[in-house]
Chain A
Amino acid sequence: MGLIMKKSSHWTSFFFLLFITTSSHAERGTGDLGVIIERATGSVQVIEHTTGTQLYEIKGLGDLSHATIVYSRDERYAFVFGRDGGLTKLDILKGEIVKRILQAGNSIGGAISQDGRLVAVSNYEPGGVRVFDSDTLELVADIPANGADGIQSKVVGLVDAPENRFVFSLYDSGEIWIADLTSPEEPEITKFTDIGHQPYDALITPDGRYYIAGLFGEDGMALLDLWHPEKGTQHILDNYGRGEKKLPVYKMPHLEGWAVAGDYAFVPAVGHNDVIVIDRKSWKQIATIPVHGQPIFVMARPDGRQMWVNFAFPDNDTLQVIDTETQKIIKTLKPGKAVLHMEFTPRGERLWTSVRDEDQVQIYATDSFEQIKSLPVKKPSGIFFTHRAHKIGL
């Protein structure tokens, strides 16, 4: 009898818990949620950025060094691209893994298609892009990046573009490819060769029109107008840094989240302690802004009034804020050792930043630059909020 009693009380608490958890899931949206990568432990934290609350920790995602995330268009599912080729679909409302596959040996990033049906992953090993059904994670298309030079190249700078296209760059072969997945099983590939030496990352303008690959092996960037691919790529900023000695580069800059404000765009210089100012009409460099170190991310606050910059090793304990109008540094912050990533809240009143070696994510007010809060997170790297779901290229 005692045993039965015990059992039934277990069941009662089980149903009670089930009730609590399901009801709390059902009663909230995901528009103010986000995911933080814990790069060293293969785990992520789901957070809510209105109050700065940690909701769940999800474990078992493999090697998450350099992991990145895209969101389903309903902002409920996060697709996590791991270094080890892992592709994990998370339900951030429930805080659990929906499905996880190992799709390659070594990967670097991913993108979600315009219609939200396809998730593409850029791989280093084997070099290429693999495209999956975002619902089931079944393989839809495999695009090996065999360059014109016969080398199967590592793929970088993969972004989504309008008309269900993905655009990416071949690091080893120096090419840009457009994959049109209007018919997902038969991707139509347009290739641009000789775009420049060692494209290391790329960006797409927020309107989805221009794809720009940064070049490591030479000065400048490669620009492709996706409205007029027939015109081919154009080499821009080729005078940048000429005659000056490049500094050793201890970490590759990232071009995602680049800053666009008014007529200007701002990008990190490679091998120089500068942010480059580009005129968006002529795509010519019009100024440089000397900064604390070699910039990694140059990210505009959503209104474009400020940009926040973090730096490569060994200057990575600093964040600088630049006024985009005056192009002057207006604040220098020292959040701690290894400031890796930043994310603005959707309308930009807060900035979240991961400080890896302090095991902290710090939250700043972007008007006063005061630190509002600090959250304990193990070796945090990327921070990704769900509003990315509705932005081209993110």
Chain B
Amino acid sequence: MKRLIIFFMLSNVSALNHACAEELFNERQAELTDLLLQDCGSCHGMTLKGSLGPAITSEALANKSEEEIFLTISNGRPGTPMPPWKNILSEADIQWLVSTLKNGVDHEKK
């Protein structure tokens, strides 16, 4: 019985996680957009057209795979100033950033 309860609890938690992963709350999306433009922007430019770091607009990233971008954000790029973000951002956060970068940021929204 006890096991069954734990099982139900766990399955509820994972269902919740699943829902979060699929669609981050709007508030978190706003935070991440802010992080992207302001903090990523401190090296890549607020319009993401590049600065000390390269341009990361959707055009600039056209020939990079989502996986490649995911790994770069997670682990950084040794030998360059690009730091790893995996200790600060969750995988879901990074995945959301990857698709946002790939699709292009709506600057008007900010």
The interface bits of chain A over 64-75 (1 if a CB of B lies within 8 angstroms of the residue's CB, else 0) are: 011000000000
Cross-interface CB contact of B47 among A63, A108, A171, A217, cutoff 8 Å: A63
Stretch from A45-53, A247-255, A365-373, A384-392 that touches the partner: A247-255
Distance between Cα atoms of A382 and B84 in the complex (Å): 27
* A344 CB–B CB distance under 8 Å: no
* B104 CB–A CB distance under 8 Å: no
Is B81 a contact of A252 with CB atoms below 8 Å? yes
Residues of B within 8 Å of A124, CB to CB, are: 50-52
Is B81 a contact of A216 with CB atoms below 8 Å? yes
* A106 CB–B CB distance under 8 Å: yes
User: From residue 64 to 81 of chain B, which have CB atoms closer than 8 A to chain A?
Assistant: 76, 79, 81
Q: Give the interface SS of chain A, mostly helix, strand, loop or mixed.
A: loop
Residues of B within 8 Å of A106, CB to CB, are: 45, 49-51
Q: Give the interface SS of chain B, mostly helix, strand, loop or mixed.
A: loop
User: From residue 95 to 141 of chain A, which have CB atoms closer than 8 A to chain B?
Assistant: 106, 108, 124-125
Is B38 a contact of A356 with CB atoms below 8 Å? yes
Residues of B within 8 Å of A356, CB to CB, are: 38
Residues of B within 8 Å of A252, CB to CB, are: 42-43, 52, 81
Is B42 a contact of A66 with CB atoms below 8 Å? yes
Is B39 a contact of A313 with CB atoms below 8 Å? yes
* A40 CB–B CB distance under 8 Å: yes
Interface range on chain A (Cβ under 8 Å from partner): 20 to 34
* B34 CB–A CB distance under 8 Å: yes
The interface bits of chain A over 203-247 (1 if a CB of B lies within 8 angstroms of the residue's CB, else 0) are: 000000000000011000000000000000000000000000000
Q: Known contacts A63-B45, A65-B41: does B83 contact A108 (CB below 8 Å)?
A: no
Shortest CB–CB separation between residue A255 and chain B, in angstroms?
14
Indicate the member of B41, B51, B76 with the most A CB atoms within 10 Å: B51
The interface bits of chain B over 11-43 (1 if a CB of A lies within 8 angstroms of the residue's CB, else 0) are: 000000000000000000000001001110111
Is A65 a contact of B39 with CB atoms below 8 Å? no
Return 27 A-B CB contacts under 8 Å, by A number: A40-B37, A40-B110, A65-B41, A65-B45, A65-B46, A65-B47, A83-B47, A106-B45, A106-B49, A108-B52, A124-B52, A125-B50, A154-B52, A156-B52, A200-B52, A248-B83, A248-B84, A248-B87, A250-B83, A251-B39, A251-B43, A252-B42, A252-B52, A313-B39, A356-B38, A357-B34, A357-B38
In the complex, the 7 A-B pairs of residues with the closest C-beta atoms, listed nearest first: A248-B83, A65-B46, A313-B39, A251-B42, A248-B84, A249-B83, A250-B83
List residues of B whose CB falls within 8 A of some A CB. 34, 37-39, 41-43, 45-47, 49-52, 76, 79, 81, 83-84, 87-88, 110
